[in-house]
């Protein structure tokens, strides 16, 4: 069948889902006609496919930009987390230092009449340290039975056709992969 030169006006539909819907309608029309299509239908099919390719390319550009933005903000997040941890560690070192100084001097409380702060040295809180779980009385422990399925083995056996009671395979949503065109060219050059 010869290629038709007539172009389809795809400017009215601007969303990828709208373009996909138009493509689906054309494909259903071709299927209803037993796989046959006239030049106008073929031209429409090519026009909508080209529109979807352009939209997909634009989505790939936006995805790449968003990933770069996310990486940029991740750096700030990592730096902010490191700064927060540093400040928290400095606070701990400073308060531990003051506690050691007050304990060494035998001072339990510092409070000036015109001061901004009231500082007290408190006795440390008691915490339970279990150094041998096996020697603890049975009435003071909780016994927990842990069942850990070997999911990789279960998946392998189900894929081989075996029925496993209590397990089934579930498939996630379809997904796409987007690679820069330069990586394809590089792969071809490497061959």
Q: Does 151 fall in a domain? A: no
Q: Does 24 fall in a domain? A: yes
Q: How many distinct structural domains can be found in the chain?
A: 1
Please say whether the beta carbons of 173 and 180 come within 8 A: no
Q: Which domain holds residue 24?
A: 16-123
11/133 Cα distance (integer angstroms): 72
Task: Summarize pLDDT for 90-121 with one digit per residue, the tens.
Answer: 999 999 999 999 999 999 998 888 878 889 99
Please say whether the beta carbons of 7 and 39 come within 8 A: no
pTM greater than 0.85 (yes/no):
no
Q: Does 109 fall in a domain? A: yes
Q: Does 6 fall in a domain? A: no
Task: Summarize pLDDT for 20-78 with one digit per residue, the tens.
Answer: 998 999 999 899 988 888 898 899 899 999 989 999 999 999 999 999 999 999 999 99
Q: Does 93 fall in a domain? A: yes
Taking each continuous run of H as one helix and of E as one strand, the counts in the chain are: 4, 2
**What integer pLDDT is reported at residue 89 of this predicted model?**
97
Q: Does 88 fall in a domain? A: yes
User: Crossing angle of helices 39-105/16-32, nearest 10°?
Assistant: 140
Q: Does 106 fall in a domain? A: yes
Please say whether the beta carbons of 158 and 168 come within 8 A: yes
pLDDT band at 185 (very low <50, low <70, confident <90, very high): low
């Amino acid at each position: 069948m010869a290629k038709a030169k007539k172009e389809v006006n795809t400017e009215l539909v601007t969303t990828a889902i709208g373009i996909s819907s138009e493509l689906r309608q054309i494909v259903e029309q071709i299927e209803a006609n037993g796989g046959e299509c006239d030049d106008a239908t073929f031209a429409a099919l090519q026009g909508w496919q080209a529109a979807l390719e352009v939209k997909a390319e634009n989505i790939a550009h936006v995805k790449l930009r968003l990933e770069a933005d996310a990486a940029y903000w991740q750096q700030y997040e990592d730096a902010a987390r490191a700064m927060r941890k540093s400040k928290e560690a400095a606070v701990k070192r400073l308060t531990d230092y003051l506690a050691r100084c007050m304990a060494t001097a035998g001072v339990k409380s510092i409070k000036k009449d015109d001061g901004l702060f009231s500082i007290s040295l408190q006795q440390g809180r008691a915490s339970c340290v279990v150094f041998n779980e096996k020697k603890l009385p049975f009435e003071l422990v909780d016994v927990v039975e842990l069942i850990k399925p070997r999911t990789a083995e279960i998946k392998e056996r189900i894929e081989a056709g075996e029925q496993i009671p209590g397990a089934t395979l579930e498939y996630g949503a379809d997904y796409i992969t987007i690679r820069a065109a330069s990586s394809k060219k590089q792969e071809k050059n490497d061959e």
